[in-house]
């Protein structure tokens, strides 16, 4: 049974985040600077901070559990876990999630990595699986904890979140269109060696690389028959910080000769920025947090509207593609729950945040137990004989 002619895309989309939050006023006070450097300058107000018993697996499982609660796990024969916050050099983080969720054994599970781009790679691979056989359902999880060195320039752009989405034929939320534009360049704008738990970044160089990749991906997208910018109604960009999406959209409008004014440009992206402003950077998940934010926060009826997506992963790989929002999409959203996930986080002070940050390095290579802190449904219990232990709460 094949389904090559059937539309394929995202049927459901769910969000999770860490359960502590740090207002960037705390960082501003520590550095002795005006908080508007963060609130306005980079467009961030808070960051999610993982408790000691939270990580990419617990957040990913919390997001994916919402998908399974609605659809069940029958027919899901592929689970793709995208992250750049890997917890093991061999075992996929997705296998831990598969076990926590009690999914059946007839399932392929694999982890994908390429900085912040890999969730889009997972989406494209999932589309291919479903195109081969329209009965297939693919569960994609994007989950990351963004960490930079303490007292570094990247510290205000940390964060944590996960998104899970179900890719099927005849999608209920967003049909993904087939034409894409790609751009890869072997550079060192951002990377994390095996011996570090925090990323290294050349901030100014990375921002320039992002914009050059956008131009390159857009050029190939158009050369392969992709629609012009005036046929795209809304945009979702990778968001290392929300102001970057604003810069990117302005650049795209400039290089394409768009005649939209500043207010019209912002209207195309504003709703997609709302959630990331409070979670902080979530690497692979950020563009799809932006999609959830767009669908939930945009007051217009987006049914039938085309969304442009630009996914960027440092190092660097990027992709530009489009999707069509489906009729009835609002009935599938979890707006109230997602707002509560953000509002229900426990605010912490700078001292608590710093202790959590430092403790990640302190426990590497040792067996240990974690204190019960997360109010979430899953927790990381610690390490026994070098094997990570997870529990349902």
pLDDT at residue 204 in the model: 84
Look at residue 4 and tell me whether its pLDDT is greater than 70. Answer: no
- Domain membership of residue 1 (yes or no) is no
What tens digit of pLDDT does each residue of 166-179 get? 999 999 999 999 99
User: Does 104 lie in the same domain as 92?
Assistant: yes
- Asked if 152 and 12 sit in the same domain, the reply is yes
As for how many domains the chain has, the answer is 2
363 pLDDT band, cuts 50/70/90, is confident
Indicate whether 254 and 134 sit together in one domain.
no
**Peptide bond preceding 348: is omega within 30 degrees of 0, i.e. cis?**
no
Same domain, 356 and 317: no
Q: Which pLDDT does position 2 carry in this prediction?
A: 42
Residue 59 shares a structural domain with residue 138: yes
Residue 3 lies in a domain: no
Output the pLDDT for position 171: 98
Task: Evaluate whether residue 353 is within a structural domain.
Answer: yes
pTM of model > 0.95: yes
Q: What percent of the chain lies above the pLDDT cut of 70?
A: 99
pLDDT at 5 over 80: no
Does one domain contain both 118 and 14?
yes
With 0-12 / 13-18 / 19 or more C-beta atoms within 10 angstroms meaning exposed / middle / buried, residue 330 is middle
Return the CATH number at 289: 3.40.47.10
Q: Please tell me whether residues 181 and 169 are part of one structural domain.
A: no
pLDDT for 321 equals 98
Higher pLDDT, 83 or 361: 83
Nearest by Cα to 93 from 50, 58, 120, 125: 58
* Structure confidence at residue 366 (pLDDT): 86
Average pLDDT of the residues in 12-27: 98
Residues 59, 162, single domain; the answer is yes
pLDDT surpassing 80 at residue 347: yes
Looking at the domain assignment, is residue 42 inside a domain? Answer: yes
- Structure confidence by residue, pLDDT tens digits, 124-151: 999 999 999 999 999 999 999 999 999 9
**What pLDDT is recorded for position 1?**
39
Q: Assess if residue 59 is contained within a domain.
A: yes
Residue-range definition of the domain harbouring residue 302? 177-327
pLDDT at 203: 79
Query: Is 295 found in the same domain as 316?
Result: yes
The answer for residues whose C-beta is within 8 angstroms of residue 234's C-beta and 6 or more apart is: 268, 269, 271, 272, 294, 298, 302, 305, 306, 307, 308
The set of catalytic residues is: 84, 116, 238
Please identify, among 305, 327, 349, the residue that sits at the C-terminal boundary of a domain. 327
Percent of the chain with pLDDT over 90: 93
Per residue in 56-77, pLDDT (tens digit) is 999 999 999 999 999 999 999 9
Please report which confidence band the pLDDT of residue 205 belongs to, taking 50, 70 and 90 as the band edges: confident
Domain boundary, last residue among 291, 310, 327: 327
Q: Are residues 316 and 198 in the same domain?
A: yes
Shared domain for 109 and 158, answered yes or no, is: yes
Inside any domain, residue 292: yes
Q: Is residue 166 part of a domain?
A: yes
Domain limit, last residue, from 303, 327, 351: 327
Average pLDDT, the chain: 96
| 205 shares a domain with 315 | yes
pLDDT digits (tens, 9 = 90+) for 280-315: 999 999 999 999 999 999 999 999 999 999 999 999
* 143 part of a folded domain: yes
Is 361 a residue whose pLDDT tops 80?
A: no
Using alpha carbons, select from 311, 305, 337 the residue that is nearest to residue 173. Answer: 305
């Amino acid at each position: 049974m094949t389904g090559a002619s059937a539309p394929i895309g995202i049927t459901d989309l769910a969000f999770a985040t860490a359960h502590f939050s740090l207002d960037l006023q705390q960082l501003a006070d520590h550095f002795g600077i005006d908080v508007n450097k963060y609130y306005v300058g980079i467009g961030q107000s808070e960051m999610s901070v993982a408790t000691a018993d939270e990580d990419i697996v617990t957040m990913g499982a919390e997001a994916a559990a919402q998908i399974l609660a609605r659809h069940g796990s029958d027919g899901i024969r592929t689970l793709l876990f995208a992250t750049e916050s890997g917890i093991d050099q061999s075992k996929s983080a997705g296998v831990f999630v598969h076990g926590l969720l009690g999914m059946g054994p007839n399932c392929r599970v694999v982890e994908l990595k390429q900085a912040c781009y890999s969730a889009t790679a997972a989406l494209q691979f999932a589309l291919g699986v479903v195109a081969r056989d329209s009965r297939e359902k693919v569960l994609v999880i994007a989950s990351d904890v963004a960490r930079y060195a303490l007292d570094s320039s990247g510290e205000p752009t940390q964060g944590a979140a996960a998104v899970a989405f179900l890719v099927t034929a005849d999608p209920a939320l967003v049909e993904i269109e087939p034409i894409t534009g790609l751009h890869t360049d072997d550079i060192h704008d951002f990377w994390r060696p095996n011996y570090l738990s925090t990323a290294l970044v050349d901030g100014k160089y990375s921002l320039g690389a992002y914009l050059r990749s956008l131009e390159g991906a857009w050029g190939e997208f158009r050369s392969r028959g992709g629609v012009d910018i005036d046929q795209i109604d809304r945009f979702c960009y990778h968001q290392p910080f929300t102001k970057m999406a604003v810069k990117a959209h302005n650049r795209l409008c400039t290089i394409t000769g768009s005649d939209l004014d500043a207010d019209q440009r912002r209207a195309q992206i504003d709703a997609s920025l709302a959630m990331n402003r409070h979670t902080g950077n979530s690497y692979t998940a950020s563009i799809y947090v932006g999609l959830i934010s767009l669908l939930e926060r945009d007051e217009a009826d987006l049914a039938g509207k085309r969304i442009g997506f630009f996914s960027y992963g440092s190092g660097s790989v990027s992709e530009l593609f489009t999707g069509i929002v489906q009729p009835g999409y609002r009935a599938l959203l979890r707006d109230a729950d997602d707002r509560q996930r953000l509002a229900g986080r426990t605010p912490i002070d700078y001292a608590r945040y710093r202790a959590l940050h430092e403790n990640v390095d302190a426990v590497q290579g040792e067996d240990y137990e974690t204190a019960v802190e997360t109010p979430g449904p899953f927790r990381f219990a610690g390490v026994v004989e070098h094997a990570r232990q997870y529990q349902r709460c």
